[in-house]
Chains A and B, each alone.
Chain A
């Protein structure tokens, strides 16, 4: 229990200090662009009403979820294929390096041309494409880095292709896949916002831009804070899933390091 409190103290400590500094630093501010934190917090409940959350936040999160989900599936499937086949790897390596070097936000105008930017399609494509590369490349590395003795074991027990994939290759690559997915998630959140800055319709990012354009500055700040809170929440959910699925890996690593 004391350990839990200690951990909670560490987790909350720095944010508390920063908020206090912000609170007192902005307390007597008359600058319209830097409203006092107290004003921002007062504005929060009136700005983010349930209706607004349903209309702006949920669609954004849904697009993030769909885009991220597509990237996970496509990244793992393609990454496994490339990781297992030297021919495919030789063929795709230069192309992958090229696409990895292109910053995902650059794709927004191009995607807008083909898929349009008022609907969901263009936004989902942007998020999925941005999230794809870290997952794909990490899956390739994870599959390639599989312990050779495990491969020999699978072969000498005649495990079928399918069983080798499901019971050996994918679990063996899963720590790297999770590393990729974690990177992809933060890229996804960024792209979720960026993809809404161009289109005129609703969404969390679009709402923030609209507040800014209509000089609703405290409301704009609440949007930024909400975005941060969503990021923290997503990271926590990711951690829970990872702890569950990689329990064997985390446990093994702990023992190898001597607790």
Chain B
């Protein structure tokens, strides 16, 4: 059964088929820098300089070699980590703590869901904080669960579900929160390939129908090219921007045709070679040899 087709037919009734794309900036990173400086431990420069912005309604993927500070970047954007320098601006407001209009889907789905609550209670909890009344919460929870295809599992506990379904719960919780920006930190790294493909399509369809801005961090090049409208490639640590790759694939994507599209192969190859270069330590900001570590902010 296809969740996507089911969704399309249902959502067409009450929402425009494609949310209007705005050119306004949703998320802006300005000269972001992060150095871990814990007393008694060696200093680690994780992010040296990152400067990019994401327009409203865009789906942008971030890839980089392992250890490229992807999670550091995501946690900084989510307001869970203080920056050393620079700023993250969400909808015109500088992020100083977890911002209002943002929801995060963490990699560790099993550990980001509350095991003592049912699926429904997990999705509902953030809505309680928003001060919605019971009927409104119920309606939003039901819709979110329906969107991820989990209506049947609503009274179960997360640990009774498979990994893929648990991550669906986390996604349902995020979209029920109705964020303007949805951050996803390697959300499908721990699920099997088939489930992964399903979840990728789920993200694409949710993005299209809900008009939410998505920043998707992954280490998987194929996934980044398949999902993103843009792919931001990071260098090795300390992180700078390698290249901002525009993905000019058709908006309608599916696992079979998109992945065998010649342009998909080209983009994939391009990003792959960038990552290989990044792994070797080739970086756009390396004018002098041995410049790591000692650079000033």
Which A residues contact B (CB, under 8 angstroms)? 147, 149-150, 152-153, 155-160, 163, 167-168, 171-172, 174, 248-249, 251-252, 255-256
**B97 closest partner in A (C-beta):** A155
B284 within 8 A of A: no
Interface-located stretch among B46-54, B83-91, B99-107, B250-258: B99-107
Sample (17) of A-B pairs whose CB atoms are under 8 Å apart: A147-B111, A149-B106, A149-B111, A152-B112, A153-B104, A153-B112, A156-B79, A156-B98, A156-B102, A156-B104, A157-B177, A158-B126, A167-B117, A249-B115, A249-B116, A251-B157, A256-B159
How long is the Cα–Cα vector from A61 to B108 in the complex, in angstroms?
46
Contacts of A156 in B (CB 8 A): 78-80, 98, 102-104
| Chain B residues touching A, range | 20 to 34
**B110 closest partner in A (C-beta):** A149
Q: 0/1 per residue, B102-144, Cβ < 8 Å to A? A: 1110101001101111000000011011000000000000000
User: In the complex, which residues 68-82 of chain B have their Cβ closer than 8 Å to any Cβ of chain A?
Assistant: 75, 78-80
- Give 3 nearest A-B pairs by CB, closest first: A157-B126, A171-B116, A149-B111
Contacts of B108 in A (CB 8 A): 149
Contacts of B103 in A (CB 8 A): 156-157
Which B residues contact A (CB, under 8 angstroms)? 75, 78-80, 97-98, 100, 102-104, 106, 108, 111-112, 114-117, 125-126, 128-129, 157, 159-160, 173, 177
**B157 closest partner in A (C-beta):** A248
Contacts of B104 in A (CB 8 A): 152-153, 156
How long is the Cα–Cα vector from A252 to B104 in the complex, in angstroms?
24
Residue among B111, B112, B116, B173 having the largest count of chain A Cβ atoms under 10 Å: B116
**A168 closest partner in B (C-beta):** B114
How long is the Cα–Cα vector from A55 to B8 in the complex, in angstroms?
73
Main secondary structure of the interface of A (DSSP, over half): helix
**B121 closest partner in A (C-beta):** A167
Contacts of B128 in A (CB 8 A): 163
Contacts of A248 in B (CB 8 A): 115-116, 157, 159
Given A251-B157, A252-B157, 10 new contacts (CB under 8 A): A149-B106, A150-B112, A156-B102, A159-B129, A167-B114, A172-B116, A248-B115, A249-B116, A255-B159, A255-B160
- Least Cβ–Cβ distance between A145 and chain B, in angstroms: 13
From A155, A163, A256, B125 is in contact (CB under 8 Å) with A163
Contacts of A172 in B (CB 8 A): 116
From A149, A163, A249, A251, B112 is in contact (CB under 8 Å) with A149
How long is the Cα–Cα vector from A104 to B177 in the complex, in angstroms?
50
Residue contact A159 to B159, C-beta cutoff 8 Å: no
Contacts of B125 in A (CB 8 A): 157, 159, 163, 167
**A163 closest partner in B (C-beta):** B129
Contacts of A252 in B (CB 8 A): 115, 157, 159
Residue contact A160 to B129, C-beta cutoff 8 Å: yes
- Least Cβ–Cβ distance between A161 and chain B, in angstroms: 11
How long is the Cα–Cα vector from A155 to B79 in the complex, in angstroms?
9
Residue among B97, B114, B177 having the largest count of chain A Cβ atoms under 10 Å: B114
Contacts of A255 in B (CB 8 A): 159-160
- Least Cβ–Cβ distance between B166 and chain A, in angstroms: 12
Contacts of A167 in B (CB 8 A): 114, 117, 125
How long is the Cα–Cα vector from A144 to B79 in the complex, in angstroms?
22
How long is the Cα–Cα vector from A150 to B80 in the complex, in angstroms?
12
How long is the Cα–Cα vector from A150 to B115 in the complex, in angstroms?
10
**B80 closest partner in A (C-beta):** A152
Residue contact B98 to A158, C-beta cutoff 8 Å: yes
**A255 closest partner in B (C-beta):** B159
How long is the Cα–Cα vector from A168 to B111 in the complex, in angstroms?
12
How long is the Cα–Cα vector from A255 to B108 in the complex, in angstroms?
17
- Least Cβ–Cβ distance between B134 and chain A, in angstroms: 16
- Least Cβ–Cβ distance between B161 and chain A, in angstroms: 10
Residue contact B106 to A152, C-beta cutoff 8 Å: yes
Contacts of B157 in A (CB 8 A): 248, 251-252
How long is the Cα–Cα vector from A176 to B267 in the complex, in angstroms?
51
Residue among A152, A174, A251, A256 having the largest count of chain B Cβ atoms under 10 Å: A152
